[in-house]
Amino acid sequence: MPRFGRVALIGRSNVGKSTLLNTALDEPLAIVSPQPQTTRSSLLGLVNRGEDQIAFLDTPGLHHPRTELGRRMNAAAMESLRQADVALFVTDVSVLVTPPMKASRAKSQGAVPMAEDIELLARCPPEVPILLVLNKVDLVGNKQRLLPLLEAWQSHRTFAALLPVSCKLPTDVERIVEATIAVLPEGEPAYAKDELTDRPTRYFVAEYVREQVLLLTRKEVPHAVAISVDEYHESEKLISIAVTLHVEKDGQRRILIGRGGSGVRNIGTQARLRITELVKKKVHLELFVKTNPRWKSVPRQLAELGYEGAINEVTTGLPKGTQ
């Protein structure tokens, strides 16, 4: 009997959830960057192994929100968890590779999971099987140091599996896929085998433009940007797209545009390459930058930009966030 289930990827920001999804898919579907809260909405990615199918749900990193956008990001993550048959709780080895300036804090903590992780784990429904994914183990030279940390995790919950991995390595991610399939419920796949996701191309256009903003700008600018796809016309050989980058301040608008338009031109060039790889057609992409001061806080504007309604969530103890 085949197995099928929805599997939520849950965890803090920047622990490697999107990297895990991309490696499992063997396709750079989800955007990744060094910036916290890169993922703003849940993304379905379908992985097939023989007759079995996993519907992975990549989710925003849970954090303590400061805006309506942040609350909606948390709500999207928790809603994905509520719908899941299985959860992958993704964390990393941060407590073992603390920078020297924080060495005293690391010594006091020892091989103990971060408080934020424990708070997140406590919010996971007890009836949902959870696999613990300890990512970035390649950063730890002596792998024996992982054992006390894994033992400490086991004291907080019974996990279906403990998986110390590097989510950049296909062999490690294949171990995650196999362990996940083993705990999925029996059932026929819900999606065709040639499907990769249920998101439309316009969604990825906006995401791939935002990805370049995350990669090419710094400080507060990446988190101040939202993307709307205003025009999308497709012919047999060409896709013509017009996109607006919404920012909160005029100064951010000037930074994005850059001297002589160089900033927005670089963003457009790199995003167009990414979109072309996805659609396998020639792409004509136009970018515009608009100041929209309250887009993060006005529900109507958030809805127009594709961020769904918030669900009331308890956020006490969650990592502090900018969104």
Read off the amino acid at residue 23.
T
Instruction: Give the separation between CA 32 and CA 39, rounded to whole angstroms.
Output: 8
Global pTM reads: 0.90
Contacts of 101 (CB under 8 A, 6+ apart): none
Predicted pLDDT of residue 102: 47
Strands (DSSP E) contained in the chain are: 4-10, 43-49, 52-58, 86-92, 130-135, 161-164, 226-234, 238-247, 282-291
Using one digit for the tens of pLDDT, what is the confidence trace for 264-299?
999 999 999 999 999 999 999 999 999 999 999 998
**Residue 112 near residue 95, CB atoms below 8 Å:** yes
Predicted pLDDT of residue 309: 55
For residue 79, CA distances in Å to 91, 97, 120, 270 come to 20, 32, 14, 33
**Residue 296 near residue 303, CB atoms below 8 Å:** no
Q: Out of 3.40.50.10190, 3.40.50.450, 3.40.50.10490, 3.30.300.20, which CATH number does the structure's domain 201-292 have? A: 3.30.300.20
Q: What angle do CA 159, 90, 42 make, to 5 degrees?
A: 115
Tokens 């950063």 belong to 139
Report the residue count for the chain: 323
Domain residue spans of the chain: 4-183, 201-292
Instruction: Give the separation between CA 270 and CA 245, rounded to whole angstroms.
Output: 15
Predicted pLDDT of residue 219: 84
For residue 254, CA distances in Å to 32, 94, 248, 264, 322 come to 25, 36, 11, 10, 21
Tokens 């390459």 belong to 273
For residue 103, CA distances in Å to 95, 151, 319 come to 10, 22, 20
Q: What angle do CA 30, 35, 36 make, to 5 degrees?
A: 90
Q: Which positions of the chain have pLDDT values less than 50? A: 100-109, 310-317
Predicted pLDDT of residue 10: 97
Instruction: Give the separation between CA 209 and CA 198, rounded to whole angstroms.
Output: 19
- Could you tell me the sign of the dihedral formed by the alpha carbons of 165, 171, 173, 176, in that order? negative
Instruction: Give the separation between CA 114 and CA 94, rounded to whole angstroms.
Output: 8
| The two three-digit tokens of residue 13, written as one number | 């920001």
Return the number of other C-beta atoms located less than 10 Å from residue 258's C-beta: 16
* Residue 48 bridge partners (DSSP): 53
- Could you tell me the sign of the dihedral formed by the alpha carbons of 29, 32, 38, 42, in that order? positive
Instruction: Give the separation between CA 243 and CA 240, rounded to whole angstroms.
Output: 10
Q: Three-class SS of residue 105?
A: helix
User: For domain 4-183, which architecture applies?
Assistant: 3-Layer(aba) Sandwich (3.40)
